[in-house]
Amino acid sequence: MRERVTARLLLLDPQGRILLMKGRLPSDPTAPGAWFTVGGGVEAGETLRQAAEREAFEETGFTDVVIGEVLFEGEQVHHDRKRRPVLVKESFMLARCGGGDPSRAGWQALEREFVDDVRWWTLEALEASREPMFPADLPARLAQCLAISG
């Protein structure tokens, strides 16, 4: 099975809100969307941190993102457009920025096609939400991050 290493960001603004994107998988474009963290694949020759910095800028346009250490890791199997399985290896890092409205100017065609929304979430809104999100325990993970980082 093909593997894809990804850098994911729990990107927080000064109010402790997390920026999430809502989208659908290319393997099932008619499925309801799910909320997920900013980030994406590590390209050849990149470190995890370099990929995180690049993805943060491409997906948000923010130039002031400060990225911390890896907080937790996960794996899940997704399918590509041809329905082939791909093992996605995720490293989640805490990151902070000044906030504001994210820009879609750096989005790639795939993101423009499958990402339906981007917005800041409070911990309380995440905990109350019944919408699907990845990772599924994101509210608990965010609560831990906020407790540790203040």
* 3-state class (DSSP) for residue 142: helix
How confident is the model over 74-97, as a mean pLDDT?
A: 92
Per the DSSP assignment, residues forming a β-bridge with 96 are 12, 66
**pLDDT at 123 > cutoff 70:** yes
How confident is the model over 89-102, as a mean pLDDT?
A: 97
- How high does pLDDT run on average in the chain? 93
C-alpha 112, offset from chain centre: 15
**pLDDT at 122 > cutoff 70:** yes
Which CATH number characterizes residue 137's domain? Answer: 3.90.79.10
Q: Tell me which amino acid residue 29 is.
A: P
**Quick one: pLDDT band at residue 79, thresholds 50, 70, 90?**
confident
How confident is the model over 25-34, as a mean pLDDT?
A: 80
Which tens digit of pLDDT belongs to each residue from 33-48? Answer: 999 999 999 999 999 9
H or E stretch covering 58: helix 48-60
Q: Tell me which amino acid residue 143 is.
A: A
Per the DSSP assignment, residues forming a β-bridge with 50 are none
DSSP state, residue 26:
T
Q: Count CA within 13 A, CB hemisphere, residue 20.
A: 23
Q: Which residue range forms the structural domain that includes residue 135?
A: 2-149
Verify cis geometry, omega within 30 degrees of 0, for the bond prior to 85.
no
Residue 94 near residue 71, CB atoms below 8 Å: yes
How confident is the model over 64-75, as a mean pLDDT?
A: 95
Domain count, the chain: 1
